[in-house]
């Protein structure tokens, strides 16, 4: 039983590692000069969060993300 749990745990770690490796990252600078490395995972919620982290208002981030039709909601 312990061996099976070890194999499942190792497979989970490997899967998560592969998934993380496939997410593209970019370096962006916001309106106040703040620079961040952002993950481009294609999610609407991530777009909103990262826009606010860069220093944009919620309204500005929402407008920007709403204009991106390929984002997953």
What is the model's pLDDT at position 2?
53
Residue 54 falls inside a structural domain: yes
What is the model's pLDDT at position 8?
56
Other beta carbons within 10 Å of 41: 17
The sign of the torsion formed by the CA atoms of 10, 16, 21, 27 equals: negative
Containing 42, the helix (H) or strand (E) segment is: none
Residue 8 falls inside a structural domain: no
Residue 40 falls inside a structural domain: yes
Residue 28 falls inside a structural domain: yes
Structurally, the chain folds into a number of domains equal to: 1
CB distance 40 to 27 below 8 Å? no
Spatial separation of the C-alpha atoms in residues 28 and 41, rounded to whole Å: 15
Residue 3 falls inside a structural domain: no
Structural domain span for residue 49 = 24-73
pLDDT 10s per residue in the chain (73 long)?
554 555 655 555 555 555 556 788 999 998 888 899 998 999 999 999 999 999 999 999 999 999 998 999 8
Residue 73 falls inside a structural domain: yes
Residue 35 falls inside a structural domain: yes
């Amino acid at each position: 039983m312990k061996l099976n749990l070890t194999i499942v745990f190792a497979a989970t770690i490997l899967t998560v590692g592969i998934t993380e490796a496939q997410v593209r990252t970019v370096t962006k600078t916001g309106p106040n000069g703040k620079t961040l490395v952002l993950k481009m995972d294609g999610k609407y919620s991530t777009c909103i969060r990262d826009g606010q982290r860069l220093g944009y208002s919620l309204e500005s981030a929402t407008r920007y993300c709403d204009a991106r039709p390929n984002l997953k909601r």
